Amino acid sequence: MSVQDHVDIAVIGGGLVGAALAYGLRRQGQRIALFDEGDSAFRASRGNFGLVCAGGKGGQLDDYAPWALQGVEVWKDFGDRLVAETGIDIELEQNGLPVFCPDPAALAERVAMMERLQRRSGLAFEVHSPAEIDRYMPGVSADVPGAVFCAIDGAANPMLLLRALHASLLTGDAVLRRDARVERLEAVSGGYRLVTAQGVTRCERVVLAAGLGNLGLGQDLGVTLPIKPMRGQILVTERCPPRMKVPSEHVRQTRDGTYLLGGSWEDVGFDTGTTAEVTRAIARRAISYFPFLSTVRLVRSWSALRILAPDNAPIYDEIAPGAFLVTCHSGVSLAAIHAGKVAGWIADGALPAEADPFRLGRFAD
């Protein structure tokens, strides 16, 4: 098989993680090729809730709290630049985000966790009553015990974000290979060799950013990764007049007026089905927060698989010389820091001490 391309860095995976890294690497002046398997793969980036959110992150890994906050702090600049470069409005809004708690005990527990995380990261939050929530999410039930509100959080449109990142790669000398599953990844002298059905690419460095596809790619390099799928189902309603000024963790109104309802965490392996039982549970919870939703029609639903490490935090590591692993849940929230700092690390060819808490070694026990 002939060598198709020879690039500095090959990024495997064209979801939000790989595309953000490829975007950042290009800005760093690297000659890159991005490979994406396409519709046959699991693709969390096309099935997520779109929140840009630091609140609550780091519950199981303290260092994740300041990292997630940094990620959200740099989002606006990243988003503005992407929109200016591509002309695609990614619908970013960072006007705050409440996390509802179903009962007073859950609220107390959430506040305690946020206080602990705040000591680590400085993330500001407030506890809001239903009357306060009603100002930005009119129609909230007076029976809701309260919500923890982070003013810096918000949401974007994840499909438009992905489209903008890909569009940015179509200009200039980046190679974007769609429907190009990397069948084999091999270490060779001076770098790596990627084999797809279309041909072979040689690169000096490679980034494994293929979501759950990283499980197989890691094996190619002799590394077993501790990530697993975690299903989430999302319900979509008919379009309604604009009402909500901000998104919440489980209910948000999109720019086009539909409500997205979500929040299931299902440990069901690689099953991407939807179920009536979970649909009912998601709808019931949403209606308990916003009773007016009981008269709004559902029009469709889908499921997608989160890519989860045992502590829900990202993994950044160099798993073989010049082979970088980047994987996370929260690929929307971390898109800006992936395009910035993390792409910079990879362009430099080495992870700094700042990446140490996120290396695979933390799971050694």
Count each helix (H run) and each strand (E run) in the chain, helices first: 10, 17
**Contacting residue, 11, 13, 319, 346, with ligand FAD by CB under 6 A:** 13
Q: Map the footprint of ligand FAD across residues 282-321, applying CB under 6 A.
A: 304-307
Tell me how far CA of residue 211 lies from CA of 112, 270, 296, 314, in angstroms.
Answer: 32, 13, 34, 11
Q: Would you count residue 24 as binding ligand FAD (CB under 6 A)?
A: no
Tokens of 215: 């499980």
Q: Would you count residue 234 as binding ligand FAD (CB under 6 A)?
A: yes
Give the separation between CA 9 and CA 207, rounded to whole angstroms.
7
Q: Would you count residue 218 as binding ligand FAD (CB under 6 A)?
A: no
Q: Would you count residue 213 as binding ligand FAD (CB under 6 A)?
A: yes
Instruction: State the nearest-atom distance from the C-beta of 134 to ligand FAD, in Å.
Output: 23
**Contacting residue, 66, 232, 322, 340, with ligand FAD by CB under 6 A:** 232
Q: Would you count residue 147 as binding ligand FAD (CB under 6 A)?
A: no
Q: Helices in the chain by DSSP H: which ranges?
A: 16-27, 64-73, 75-86, 104-121, 130-136, 158-169, 214-220, 276-289, 335-337, 343-348
Q: Would you count residue 322 as binding ligand FAD (CB under 6 A)?
A: no
Residue 13 or 191: the one with the smaller Cβ distance to ligand FAD is 13
**Contacting residue, 24, 90, 330, 342, with ligand FAD by CB under 6 A:** 330
Q: Would you count residue 41 as binding ligand FAD (CB under 6 A)?
A: yes
Q: Would you count residue 123 as binding ligand FAD (CB under 6 A)?
A: no
Tell me the angle at which helices 75-86 and 158-169 cross, rounded to the nearest 10 degrees: 60
Residue 250 or 359: the one with the smaller Cβ distance to ligand FAD is 250
- Residues 6+ away with beta carbon under 8 Å from 2: 199, 200
**Contacting residue, 205, 329, 341, 362, with ligand FAD by CB under 6 A:** 329
Of 296, 159, 286, nearest in space to 238 by CA = 296
Instruction: State the nearest-atom distance from the C-beta of 156 to ligand FAD, in Å.
Output: 9
Q: Would you count residue 210 as binding ligand FAD (CB under 6 A)?
A: yes
Give the separation between CA 218 and CA 214, rounded to whole angstroms.
6
**Contacting residue, 157, 253, 258, 333, with ligand FAD by CB under 6 A:** 333
**Contacting residue, 50, 55, 79, 96, with ligand FAD by CB under 6 A:** 50
Q: Would you count residue 331 as binding ligand FAD (CB under 6 A)?
A: yes
Instruction: State the nearest-atom distance from the C-beta of 33 to ligand FAD, in Å.
Output: 11
Tell me how far CA of residue 132 lies from CA of 109, 111, 138, 292, in angstroms.
Answer: 20, 17, 10, 18
- Residues 6+ away with beta carbon under 8 Å from 116: none
Give the separation between CA 63 and CA 74, rounded to whole angstroms.
17
**Contacting residue, 320, 328, 339, 347, with ligand FAD by CB under 6 A:** 328
Name the residues that contact ligand FAD, by CB under 6 A. 12-18, 35-38, 41-45, 47-51, 181-182, 209-211, 213, 217, 232, 234, 262, 304-307, 327-333
